[in-house]
Amino acid sequence: MHEMKTCSQCRKRAVKKSKVADCIKIAGHKFCSNDIAGFRCTNCGAEYLTHEGLNGFERRVAEYLVKAGEQSGEAIKFMRKVIGLKAIDFAKMLNVTPETISRWENKQRLIDRAALVVLQSLVRDALEGTNRTVQILTATATPARIPKTVQLGV
């Protein structure tokens, strides 16, 4: 039998695994879910998200933002953070300054369309568990030497 956890609200040992609800507001849009992995106190009804549940919810929001083509600074920053990409690393990938990333995220400048596509591809890769976009960016930053004749199997 599972040991009950103590609720931080009512201090009772009545917290059980459950699906919980939460909402997040990004760029003026409210995203809600009722099936996030978490815990609920059977005594007072307090709900708690698990790290995995919150991460999964945020990834679904990022996926929606990508599909919608959202370009706001707040959405850009949210998507970048959801995939664990530091602003300085994103700047290096795009061959821009960290200040440029900051200007996009703080609504001082619109994001360049090509940069948005790169970010969207990075988000999709993270959701799919691949790193194709990073591989392409790395290859273009340091191109390999291609021999004059290349024999390919078809």
Do residues 10 and 29 touch, judged by C-beta distance below 8 A? no
The 10 Å Cβ neighbour count of residue 9 is 14
| pTM assigned to the model | 0.86
Q: Which two tokens stand for residue 24?
A: 């997040």
The SS3 of residue 130 is: coil
CB within 8 Å of 150: residues ≥ 6 apart = none
- What domains lie within the chain, and their CATH numbers? 7-141 (3.10.20.860)
The pLDDT of residue 1 is 47
pLDDT in tens, 37-86: 999 999 999 999 999 999 999 999 999 999 999 999 999 999 999 999 99
User: Which residue(s) pair with 37 in the sheet?
Assistant: 19
Q: CB under 8 Å to 110, separation ≥6 — which residues? A: 71, 104
- Model pLDDT for residues 87-126, shown as the tens digit of each residue: 999 999 999 999 999 999 999 999 999 999 999 999 999 9
Model confidence band, residue 143 (pLDDT cutoffs 50, 70, 90) = confident
Q: Which of 27, 5, 9 is nearest to 18 (CA)?
A: 5
17 C-beta neighbours (distance < 10 Å), count: 12
Q: What share of the chain is helix, strand, coil (3-state, %, to 5)?
A: 45, 20, 35
Whether 41 contacts 108, CB under 8 Å? no
Q: Look at residue 124 and give its three-state secondary structure.
A: helix
Mean pLDDT of 7-31: 95
Q: Can you give the pLDDT at residue 2?
A: 58
